[in-house]
Amino acid sequence: MIKEILRQTDEIDAEIEKLRIRREPENSRRTDMRIAQLGERRNYLLSQARNLSPEDKVFLARLGARPHIDDFIDALFTDFFEQKGDHLYGDDQSIFGGIARFHGRPVTVLGHRKGRTMKENISRNFGMPKPEGYRKALRMMEQADKFGRPIITFVDTPGAYPGVDAEEHGQGEAIARNLAAMSRLRVPVITVVTGEGNSGGALAISVANRILMLENAVYSILSPEGFASILWKDSSRHAEAAALMKMTAADLKEAGVADEIVAEPAGGAQVNPLLVYAALDEAIEKNLKELEELSSRVLIEERQKKFRAM
């Protein structure tokens, strides 16, 4: 359903843009009326994009037009300073982060980084980190722990990169080391799942005290296609798999995995990102204030208890 709705709204947006470009003084009233009619039609279509199926939410979570980590950093943080490389092998572009200020307080912010164009996606490996990426993230988190900075991570990945070179460089070890290290961090850790969060590739930067999820984000052990291929030997049953996996924000909130759901406008975060930024800013600030009241010992105990319960 959502694919058809977005296809129609894209066509309407294109038609509105053409009318605005061709608008002339002598027929401006008629053009404005037509634009208003198209706008009403667009709003009606988007209003139907509620009560979406898990398959629809997976589609939205993967949509390239959704806000990426660069957008969230620009909208929510100030004085951002990027940190590069793992100081061992290289600088994995699929992990992006550094030091910034959130409401005046110094924090470390990092997450998966997808691209908008094919060139960007290739350079960022479509948001699939290699071991160097996870070691880069670990370096930033350990530095944050040393200097007492809260950590905010953004998850949006199909999973860890499954290539031969990643295995040769120690993919499993890098993920395992991150899980162990994050469970012992003495500072507040908040994870925001903004798109898709699959497998250990997502978990390696999301061992957090609080997990926030955008309304149409998904978070699971693997993709629905992978689940269907393993269970039924038929990846075409991915819609059925998505429903069984309970991977949506609402399902995970009910299961106690997600702590809070951040609302999106009808049709997805890309329809009006400013609304999402405002809601997410409020959610992060509220949760961070609560966590800052806790001692390091309690932060560690609660984090470990949360993930053992999963």
pLDDT per position as a tens digit, 98-147: 999 999 999 999 999 999 999 999 999 999 999 999 999 999 999 999 99
Local confidence band at 177 (pLDDT 50, 70, 90 cut-offs): very high
Residue 50 pLDDT level (bands cut at 50, 70, 90): confident
Which tops the pLDDT comparison, 87 or 155? Answer: 155
pTM of the model: 0.91
Q: pLDDT of 80-102, one tens digit each?
A: 999 999 988 989 999 999 999 99
pLDDT class of 8 with cuts at 50, 70, 90: confident
Inter-residue contact 194 to 215 (CB < 8 Å): no
To the question of domain 56-309 being in CATH 3.90.226.10, the answer is yes
Mean pLDDT of 265-287: 96
For position 288, what pLDDT does the model report? 98
Q: Give me the pLDDT at residue 146, please.
A: 98
Of 36 and 298, the one with more pLDDT: 298
Task: Give 114 or 51, the one with higher predicted confidence.
Answer: 114
Q: What residues does each domain of the chain span?
A: 2-49, 56-309
Using the predicted structure, report yes or no on whether residue 58 has a pLDDT greater than 90.
Answer: yes
- Alpha carbon distance 239, 243 (integer Å): 7
